Amino acid sequence: MNRRNNFLTYLLALFPGVGYMYLGLVIKGVETLAIFMLIDPLFSIVGLGFLTGLVKIPIWLYVFFDTINTAKRLDNGEVIQDEDFIFRKLNANSSFNNSYNTEGIKKNVWIIVGWTLVALGALALTNRVLRSFGLYNLIKSYMSMYLIPLVFILVGIYLLFRNKSQR
């Protein structure tokens, strides 16, 4: 069992993908880093640069906590395969246990990807068409300033009340 430096693991987990690479999961780390770094330019190209924070923050949080959790699992002696981060769910021949319904997972992931692309395309077209209107630009600037904190507040309230009903 190769014991890692916990502080260094924590420090490198702050950079999406780099923590995975430190843990020896190079494929997962490179794919995560590439996806995270491509969000800004891709969203800017389609005119949705004001939404990058809304996309990057949840990804960053997930990758950070998953890296810390993966390090603990590795330190406990668990063997973790170095698989890609996203696309293994799209492949029906992936290394899921036979108890999982891989066709159902594959179908659900494609449905989510499809609806996400439709929504992003609609937002990009709306942004291109309404760009010259002053009111639209004012609304867009307020959205970029206040939307992320508002989403955090609403998700926090939801999680607080959801836990009370499950008790």
> What mean pLDDT do residues 12-37 have?
90
pLDDT tens by residue, 107-118: 777 787 788 888
Torsion angles phi and psi, residue 102, rounded to 5: -70, -30
Instruction: Round to whole Å and give the CA distance between 89 and 96.
Output: 9
pLDDT confidence of residue 112: 79
In what helix (H) or strand (E) does residue 3 lie, and over which residues does it extend?
none
pLDDT confidence of residue 55: 85
Is 31 in contact with 84 (CB distance < 8 Å)? yes
> What mean pLDDT do residues 30-50 have?
84
Model confidence at 122, in pLDDT bands (50, 70, 90)?
confident
